[in-house]
Structures are given as C-alpha cells and as structure tokens.
Amino acid sequence: MDETRHILVGQSPRTRQVLHLIQKLGKCRWPALLLGETGTGKEVVARAIHNISAQGPFVTIDCSSMVGPLMESELFGHVKGAFTGAASAKIGLIESANGGTALFDEIGELPLDLQAKLLRVLQEKEFRPVGSVTTRRSDFRIIAATNRDLAKEVEKGTFRRDLYFRLNVINIRLAPLRERREDIPALINHFLARVGGNYTITAEAMEVLLSYDWPGNVRELENCIQHMVAINSGPLLHVADLPSNLQNFILQKKSQYLTAAAAAPPQAAPAQTLAAPAPPPVPDPVAGPSGVIPLAELERRAILNALEYTKGDRAIAAHLLGIGRTTLYRKLKEYHMENR
Ligand SMILES: Nc1ncnc2c1ncn2[C@@H]1O[C@H](COP(=O)(O)OP(=O)(O)O)[C@@H](O)[C@H]1O
Ligand SMILES: [Mg+2]
C-alpha cells in the first residue's frame, strides 16, 4: 500500500486547523464526525486520526454502497444458514473493527433500523449476528463521515437524534477546495510526486487549475493530474492536456468574456489621465441591441477556437470541446466549416 496516500497535504489556515484537530483527536478515543462535500478528504482525515493512535485495524464501512437485506449481515455478520445463500458463517465489519477504528462513510445513508442497532453497539459494545441467538462483543472507535446536513435529517426524522448526539461529540468540517485554493499548488505537487517522473505544470495551465471551482474537490484534482500525466509524456503539462471538464470551463469563460465585452457600453474616458485611455470594447457585430450572442454563434466560435488551438487536428479539437469526433464533423458541416 502506498503510504503517501494517507498524507494530508495543504498549508491553508483551514487545513492547518484540521491538522491541529487531528493531532488532538488522535490521542483520545472519542467519536468524531467529519463533515464535507465528496472528495474533500474525509477518509484521509479518518485514517490520519487512526494512524496516530495506531491501535488495531482500520475498517471502512461505506453505508452508501450497502443495500437491502444484505446490509445487516455485512455489518453484523451472520451464522451459517441464517438465510438462503448463507452457506457458511460470516464475520461482519463491526466485528472486524474490534480494538481499532471503524469509519462509517456516508452515515446519513444508514437506514433507521440499522441506526438503532449501531447505537446499541456503541453503548453496550454488544451486537448479534443475523440468525444468532447469542451476542458478541466489539469495542471500536467510531468516526462517521457525511456530506449531508445530519441536523436537518434529524429534524426530518430520517436520522436518529440519540445516534446523532452520540456521534457529534467533536466534528471536523472540511472546506470545499474552492474555499481554500491556496492548497491547490501543494496538492498538485503531491500528486505529481506520486506518479514519479519530472513533471511541471505550465503557468497558463496552473492559472486554469487555480480558477476552476472543483465540484468534485481534491478527488477531481487528483483525477485531473492523472489524466494530464497519462496523455502527455512530459516534462511540461499544458492547457491542452487538461481533461474535458476543464476544457469546457475554459471555453465557458472565453464565451462569457466575449459576451461581457459585447454587452459593455463604451466607457467615457476619465477627464484627465496621463496614461493612454484603453480603447472602448468593440461591440460584437453578431450581438443584437441586447448584447446577447446566440448560442449557435458561441458554439461556432468555440469550434473555431479549438481548431485554431490544435492547428486543425480534429481528434484533439473534439476532445478539447468535450464532444465525440462524429459530432464535431456534423457541426462542421452544419456551420459550413468543413474546410477548416
Ligand atoms: N488534503 C489532502 N492531501 C492529500 N490528498 C488528499 C487530501 N484530501 C483528499 N485527498 C485525496 O483525494 C481523494 C479523495 O479523498 P477522500 O478522503 O476519499 O474524500 P472523501 O472521503 O471526502 O470523499 C483521495 O485519493 C485522497 O487521497
Ligand atoms: Mg469518501
């Protein structure tokens, strides 16, 4: 296992505060509740807390991936013959976590009946495997993670209040990446170091990476870097190597800029200035009096931009535009640009 996977990278004040809390929490065995959007590093934090105490196993229980009747047996195990298909006895995740840490990921997805059973394990350290008449013991530290607002779920009645209070002794809120952009360069270096090789991001590409909003947070950034390294042998990683979601973002920004330039009224020059006044923005000839440019025109320009950028390479242009090659050919025909 690559141990660098569990290092929490970042120097922003918010990340430093999280590192500080991890140090404190690592020394005790209280429950912790990790809150944050997907990909913000909840699992990294849980492992970091566990690694400080370094006691027993670390077990991740992904409540969103377990469904239906098998969920209870995944958690608590079952005895042989407990239900059709239970050919042998099975130890559940709760029992495997004995003596260590259990991370309940996406705990908001846990159904109410299992919430009640989990609460019992936390209080009594006891549980019963499916089909068993005897109880067993498991004592573990619980860390719960969620991207939901659990307090709201409690109000709605979909999450047990008593379990919520039990879990919410100490909570750590992980900020979305767009609210701590200072962490982005360090994270990029970390991911680049992990793939090995001697890669560098160009200044233009870095500018895009710093201004994108990262809805998938650090996970999306990690995937983005892996994509760039996969399609370019390096050492320089360019804007053209960015994956399609970022290419769309660039095109969107360009068209916003064009629309804004077209809509801006000509500015009156300041009364007295020594510097040469900036020329008034040229209104877009295609825009009507409202200044709005029709979508088809923006699409045509995006295609032109992409072809210009790739020096006519249609396969890469289609990739940059985030569309298939046949769609690009169809659109070229539509806009009478087959000869571009
Ligand atoms: N601060 C960080 N430093 C280094 N890697 C991080 C950091 N935050 C997240 N990651 C990486 O991003 C990915 C998603 O993190 P994860 O902890 O699974 O997020 P979550 O559980 O909140 O969805 C993982 O591959 C993880 O290693
Ligand atoms: Mg996760």
Contact 121, 162 (CB under 8 A): no
pLDDT at 6 over 90: no
* CATH number, domain with residue 294: 1.10.8.60
Residue 190 sits in the same domain as residue 145 = no
For ligand 1, say whether the CB of 180 is within 6 Å of any of its atoms: no
Q: Pocket of ligand 1, candidates 9, 109, 218: which has the most ligand atoms within 8 Å of its Cβ, to mutate?
A: 218
- Residue having the nearest C-alpha atom to atom 13 of ligand 1: 219
Q: 174 CA distance to ligand 2 centroid (A)?
A: 12
Question: Using CA atoms, how far apart are residues 190 and 202, in angstroms rounded to an integer?
Answer: 16
Question: Using CA atoms, how far apart are residues 32 and 170, in angstroms rounded to an integer?
Answer: 5
Question: Using CA atoms, how far apart are residues 302 and 296, in angstroms rounded to an integer?
Answer: 10
Residue 22 sits in the same domain as residue 131 = yes
| pTM for the structure as a whole | 0.76
Structural domain contains residue 281: no
Structural domain contains residue 278: no
Contacts (Cβ under 8 Å, ≥6 apart) of 20: none
Residue 112 sits in the same domain as residue 203 = no
What is the Rg, in whole angstroms, of the alpha carbon atoms belonging to the chain? 27
Structural domain contains residue 339: no
Final residue of a domain: which of 142, 175, 208? 175
Residue 52 sits in the same domain as residue 150 = yes
| Strand pairing class (200-201; 236-237) | parallel
Structural domain contains residue 121: yes
Q: 105 CA distance to ligand 2 centroid (A)?
A: 6
Percent of the chain whose pLDDT exceeds 90: 64
Collapsing DSSP to helix, strand or coil, 130 comes out as: strand
Structural domain contains residue 99: yes
Final residue of a domain: which of 150, 175, 200? 175
Residue, of 82 and 276, whose pLDDT is higher? 82
Question: Using CA atoms, how far apart are residues 289 and 280, in angstroms rounded to an integer?
Answer: 17
Q: 339 CA distance to ligand 2 centroid (A)?
A: 48
pLDDT band at 282 (very low <50, low <70, confident <90, very high): low
Residue 13 sits in the same domain as residue 157 = yes
Q: 58 CA distance to ligand 1 centroid (A)?
A: 16
Position 295, amino acid: L
For ligand 1, say whether the CB of 92 is within 6 Å of any of its atoms: no
Q: 6 CA distance to ligand 1 centroid (A)?
A: 8
Percent of the chain whose pLDDT exceeds 70: 90
The region, left, alpha or beta by phi > 0 then psi within -120 to 50, assigned to residue 39 is: left
Structural domain contains residue 272: no
Ligand nearest to the CA of 45: 1
- How much is the pLDDT for 326? 84
pLDDT at 147 over 80: yes
Residue 323 sits in the same domain as residue 300 = yes
Residue 33 sits in the same domain as residue 157 = yes
Range of the domain at 61: 3-82+90-175
Nearest to 281 by CA among 293, 269, 266, 291: 266
What is the tally of structural domains in the chain?
Answer: 2
- How much is the pLDDT for 321? 80
Q: At what angle do helices 295-309 and 244-263 cross, to 10 degrees?
A: 120
For ligand 1, say whether the CB of 5 is within 6 Å of any of its atoms: yes
For ligand 1, say whether the CB of 222 is within 6 Å of any of its atoms: yes
- What residue has token string 């560098």? 200
Answer whether the bond into residue 235 is a cis peptide, omega within 30°.
Answer: yes
Final residue of a domain: which of 110, 140, 175? 175
pLDDT band at 18 (very low <50, low <70, confident <90, very high): very high
Structural domain contains residue 276: no
Contact 91, 133 (CB under 8 A): no
Q: How far is CA 309 from CA 247, 299, 303, 305, 339, in A?
A: 12, 15, 10, 6, 16
For ligand 1, say whether the CB of 139 is within 6 Å of any of its atoms: no
- What residue has token string 């913000």? 40
pLDDT at 145 over 50: yes
Condensed to tens digits (0 to 9), the pLDDT of residues 187-244 reads 999 999 999 888 999 999 999 999 999 999 999 999 999 999 999 887 999 999 999 9
- How much is the pLDDT for 273? 44
Contact 36, 175 (CB under 8 A): yes
* CATH number, domain with residue 30: 3.40.50.300
Q: 233-270 burial, b if ≥16 CB within 10 A, otherwise e?
A: eeeebebbbbbebbbbbbbeeebeebbeebeeeeeeee
For ligand 1, say whether the CB of 319 is within 6 Å of any of its atoms: no
The mean pLDDT value for 136-158 works out to 96
Structural domain contains residue 274: no
Residue 54: HSE in the Cβ half-sphere, 13 Å Cα cutoff:
1
What's phi and psi for 314, nearest 5 deg? -75, -30
Residue 157 sits in the same domain as residue 105 = yes
Residue 18 sits in the same domain as residue 157 = yes
pLDDT at 285 over 80: no
Residue 160 sits in the same domain as residue 239 = no
Residue 256 sits in the same domain as residue 150 = no
Residue 8 sits in the same domain as residue 153 = yes
For ligand 1, say whether the CB of 37 is within 6 Å of any of its atoms: no
Secondary structure of 249-276 in HEC code, one letter for each residue: HHHHHHHHHHHHHHHCCCCCCCCCCCCC
